[in-house]
Amino acid sequence: MRAGTKRIFGSIHPFLENGPVLGRIVANEGFFRALLDIDPFDEYVFFLHAPDMLRSMLRDDTSQASRRGAITVASNQEIIPRLKEQTFHCFHLADPLCDQTSLAYVRNHISPELFPITSVPHTLSYHPYVKDFLLEIWPGVSPRDAICATSRAAVSVLKTYFSLLRERYALPDSWGEPSLRLLPLGVDTDRFAPGREHVRRAERRTLGIGDDTVLLFAHGRISVDDKMDLLPLLYAVHRVILEEDPPILHLLVSGKKREGDRYPDVLLAQARALGIPFSLVTDPDAERLCSLYAAADIFVSPSDNLQETFGLTILEAQASGLPVIASDWDGYRDLVINGETGFLIPTLAPLETPDLDIFGQIISENIHQLLRAEQTVVDVRSFSSAISLLARRPDARRRMGMEGRKRVQEQYSWTRCIQSWLKIVDDLWNISLSPEEEERFRHGEHPAFLPFTKLFAGHPAQLLDQGVRSRRVRLSARGGRVLAGKDVAVQWNALPLLMQGLDTRKLLTLLRKGGSIDYLLSRMRGDGNEENILFAVLWALKHDLLEFEDPLCSFNEYV
């Protein structure tokens, strides 16, 4: 990045979206809001398919960037001229599986600088992702392109993706792949905070829970095939209540309920059969969720599903001052310090699954995830021991909760996340590229990005080859009326992408007395490149502004 250059942030993703409260949506909004409030860039430009959606969602935004008018929301068609004219400091995407390779391909061909492109994946386990990651390995990928994985486990998965894809497709070493960086997500430590005793008392009254009851709280999507199977948690709690002189426990489960899913009913029935005091809160809003955290004494999360990569609910619980008992699973082990901020419960999974690897290709993704999860053991005996220990030790709960809160404030605030990401971007810029390397990246063709004119060359009756280009064209009668201001040439909104500011009046004027297309090209060399000028000529022929002096065909011989 040249010194003194304006620092412009770009994206082709809105980051804000309507819909159910899912980890990906929460994480993207958290990153977006913190970025605009910290405001480290001179300008923020979002090139979107539906720009009005983000414009409306930003109407009441009070961030520092909004207050100084630094945010531009534009149509994705405007990205081409902006990339040609300006050097962006970086682009950041809400997910690498959506557009990272395409954006890098465009950048390589038209941007003055090979700026960094970063992204954050929020899940990695679905079969179509294999093909998506295959697209990330190609000759034009720059070492300034990075996927920011949220956990050490996610980094390991991505490394294995690229390694296996290279091996199985016999991809050459000269083809690059995005660099991998570790970028943990963050949490709003003001919104999720301990010490709200009046909220705690009110919520516990609503749930019908006394002061001497230890409230275990699990939050997430309430679905056996999409987040975690909570039945082992019930069995662990049942073990505790069968102990001699057991603590008084109540299990609370909350989260998104999928319409028509009977799993919540199964949980209720099983809890009743086991004699476990149990409450279920479906689809809590943001305020209610904070109240549930305030009411709880211990947060539990026995995740067993491959789609989990990080664990935002773990951070929310720790920010709320709760000790956490979680499965020793993927990103969870980055977030829970065993014995200090909670306990990690051992997990066990198969070494190989050859049959499931085969028929997993044709069954639904949810069933595939379920079959993986149902052979992932979250050790019930260890789980019950951890629950029993913390349920009987309020001093340990307070100590672990305070340690968890402190660790989140120091390492997992959204401010810390943005600072870490900015350092990643700076590190990527500091990767020097030799002129030979830059030339190779700029001319690296992607094997999956095919030339459509060649692909569909058989569709038109004729192609604009040298023979056609040498034929004379002239202003048509309608073209003369348009030139005189007596008629109108309709131009669709997308035309500027390939017109590139061409003066169509000049084009029509030059051909007032006729001339070949090659003649026109020679006269308009300074107005645009050859593709732009030929596009304008074909568009003018299409809309009866120009015509061939000799018709392309005659039908007289047929009548």
* 8-186+419-442 and 197-410: identical CATH topology: yes
The 10s digit of each residue's pLDDT in 509-534 is: 999 989 999 999 899 888 878 888 89
Which are the contacts of 361, defined by CB distance < 8 A and separation ≥ 6? Answer: 127
% of the chain surpassing 90 pLDDT: 82
Q: What is the pLDDT of residue 79?
A: 93
b/e per residue 198-221 (b: at least 16 CB within 10 A): ebbeebbeebebeeebbbbbbbbb
The 10s digit of each residue's pLDDT in 146-183 is: 999 999 999 999 999 999 999 999 999 999 999 999 99
b/e per residue 493-510 (b: at least 16 CB within 10 A): eebeebbbebebeebbeb
Which of 93-102, 372-381, 492-501 is most confident?
372-381
Q: What is the pLDDT of residue 3?
A: 53
Name the residue with higher pLDDT: 381 or 3: 381
Q: What is the pLDDT of residue 4?
A: 57
pLDDT-derived band at 556 (thresholds 50, 70, 90) equals confident
**Rounded average pLDDT over 466-493:** 90
What number does CATH give the domain 197-410?
A: 3.40.50.2000
What's the CA angle centered on 258, arms 255 and 264, to 5 degrees? 65
The 10s digit of each residue's pLDDT in 368-426 is: 999 999 999 999 999 999 999 999 999 999 999 999 999 999 999 999 999 999 999 99
Mean per-residue pLDDT over the chain, rounded: 93
- Decide if pLDDT at 1 tops 60: no
Sort strands 214-219 and 298-301 into parallel, antiparallel or unpaired: parallel
Q: What is the pLDDT of residue 5?
A: 78
The rounded distance, in Å, linking the Cα atoms of 199 and 392 is 23
Name the residue with higher pLDDT: 317 or 95: 317
Q: What is the pLDDT of residue 24?
A: 85
**Rounded average pLDDT over 532-546:** 91
The fold adopted by the segment(s) 8-186+419-442 is Rossmann fold (3.40.50)
Query: Please, are residues 475 and 512 in contact by the beta-carbon 8 Å criterion?
Result: yes
The rounded distance, in Å, linking the Cα atoms of 141 and 144 is 8
Q: What is the pLDDT of residue 150?
A: 96
Q: What is the pLDDT of residue 17?
A: 84
Question: Is the pTM value of this prediction over 0.85?
Answer: yes
Q: Where are the domains of the chain?
A: 8-186+419-442, 197-410, 455-548
The rounded distance, in Å, linking the Cα atoms of 70 and 72 is 7
pLDDT-derived band at 18 (thresholds 50, 70, 90) equals confident
- Decide if pLDDT at 145 tops 60: yes
The 10s digit of each residue's pLDDT in 247-299 is: 999 999 999 988 888 999 999 999 999 999 999 999 999 999 999 999 999 99
The rounded distance, in Å, linking the Cα atoms of 181 and 424 is 7
Over its C-alpha atoms, the chain yields an Rg (Å, rounded) of 30
Q: What is the pLDDT of residue 346?
A: 98
The rounded distance, in Å, linking the Cα atoms of 506 and 518 is 15
**Rounded average pLDDT over 450-479:** 92
Q: Tokens 């609370």 belong to which residue? A: 252
**Rounded average pLDDT over 191-197:** 91
Q: What is the pLDDT of residue 473?
A: 94
The 10s digit of each residue's pLDDT in 54-70 is: 999 999 999 999 999 99
- Decide if pLDDT at 536 tops 80: yes
The rounded distance, in Å, linking the Cα atoms of 30 and 21 is 12
Q: What is the pLDDT of residue 2?
A: 55
